[in-house]
Amino acid sequence: MQSRPALALPDKPSIAVLPFANMSRDPEQEYFADGMVEEIITALSRIRWLFVIARNSSFTYKGQAIDVKQVGRELGVRYVLEGSVRKSSGRVRITAQLIDATSGTHLWADRFDGSLGDVFELQDKVAVSVAGVIEPALQAAETGRSANRPTNDLTAYDLYLRAYAMWLSSGTLLLDALRLLDQAIERDPSYGPALALAATCYVRLCSDGWSRDPEADGRKGTDLARRGLQMAGEEPATLANAALALAFFGEDIGTMTTLVNRALALNPSFARGWYISGLLTLWAGQPDLAIERVEVSLRLSPRARVGWPFAQIGAAHLVSRRYDEAVPKLLLAIQEDPSYPASYWYLAACYTHMGRLDEARGIVDRVRVITPLVVPSFTYLRNSEHRELLLSGLRLAAGEIS
């Protein structure tokens, strides 16, 4: 693995949770092991004095031979947690070890056994134990205050984990993810994370031009997000995902931003929350503040794929008419995620306003391969000047105006 530049350690205890090895004989249980790690990361993130690296970055080490010191340098953390999960015959075993990445010293190791029905309690035990080792003088028991899980239905939870894995991997799997989420919600209609995640799937379907009936899908997405919000409680991801969907589908942007701020107050290490905060700030017409917030998400997840974040940073530079700064960000966004249409729309508009019309038309040709939606309405941009700047550039590149 090629070494990356070292990042400075934050001014508070910091940790990365690496993917746990799937020790089950069934390779299909990989998603279950990944889900365990996701939950442990979430539990650790509730400790406000702890800086926790996002899943998207720690999971870039999945399947690789790990040099813990190198991981610590590349992610800018002092501690690394690694382990394994075995699920068999209704039983779960989680093993974990905590390592000081600056010295390579093993600080703690333990094994947690229980029935499948105890899986949520086991996850909390891991998080509380890790926090107790890192900072025994502080109250690690804060992770236990949220022992009420969003669902007690293990089948619904399993369906959600499968859908979440698809949602992370590719936009082409959105419909499959939605089918699984529908099943989870049918089993537990009050399952907040599943409701909010399903709402964001409808955002993607509508925003990227894959919806056959945007009006109907918009209504579905809005309904799911509202139901998710009712069930969110103090669950940061549910709050932020529901707010994102409602903002996209036309609800008051200021109110939705407040909800995302609440999610970040609950979990300051929530990388996706900072990304959504930046996105909504961009939509509200504050591009410079949007860049700052997206950059926080990148620091919390320094090895995540940067396609979407860089697309939003590029868009923020574009609406600020800093075209030369926008282009490299948008080119990198396309390289990282060639399936995300917004990067192409922003780049085509940018090239047009730079007088590079032939290149803009070439980008439009590429976006036609991805989606039938060549010139979206950009109604999520509340600033009319920003919206018109995008539309005028893109329409000219698409040949809709001359």
Structural domains of the chain ordered from first start? 14-146 (3.40.50.10610), 152-268 (1.25.40.10), 270-402 (1.25.40.10)
Q: How far is C-alpha 324 from the chain's CA centre?
A: 28
Q: Provide the whole-model pTM.
A: 0.74
Burial of 320 (0-12, 13-18, 19+ CB in 10 A): middle
Instruction: Summarize the chain as % helix, strand, coil (round to 5).
Output: 60, 10, 30
Q: Are 154 and 116 in contact (CB under 8 A)?
A: yes
Amino acid at position 14, single letter: S
Record the tokens describing residue 133, joined without a space: 């080792």
Q: What are the CA-CA distances from residue 177 to residues 181, 198, 253 (Å)?
A: 6, 8, 27
Q: Are 317 and 330 in contact (CB under 8 A)?
A: no
Q: Are 20 and 83 in contact (CB under 8 A)?
A: yes
pLDDT of residue 31: 83
Read off the pLDDT of residues 2-33 as tens digits, 9 standing for 90 and up: 555 678 888 778 889 999 888 887 777 788 88
85: left (phi over 0), alpha (psi -120 to 50) or beta: beta
Contacts of 133 (CB under 8 A, 6+ apart): 98, 107, 108
pLDDT of residue 144: 38
3-state secondary structure 332-400: HHHHHCCCCHHHHHHHHHHHHHCCCHHHHHHHHHHHHHHCCCCCCCCCCCCCHHHHHHHHHHHHHHHCC
Amino acid at position 320, single letter: S
Q: What are phi and psi of 87, to 5 degrees?
A: -120, 120
pLDDT of residue 151: 73
pLDDT of residue 216: 97
CA distance 309 to 331: 12
Q: Which segments of the chain have a pLDDT < 70?
A: 1-5, 128-149, 169-171, 303-306, 401-402
21-22 and 14-17 beta bridge pairing: unpaired
Q: How far is C-alpha 394 from the chain's CA centre?
A: 28
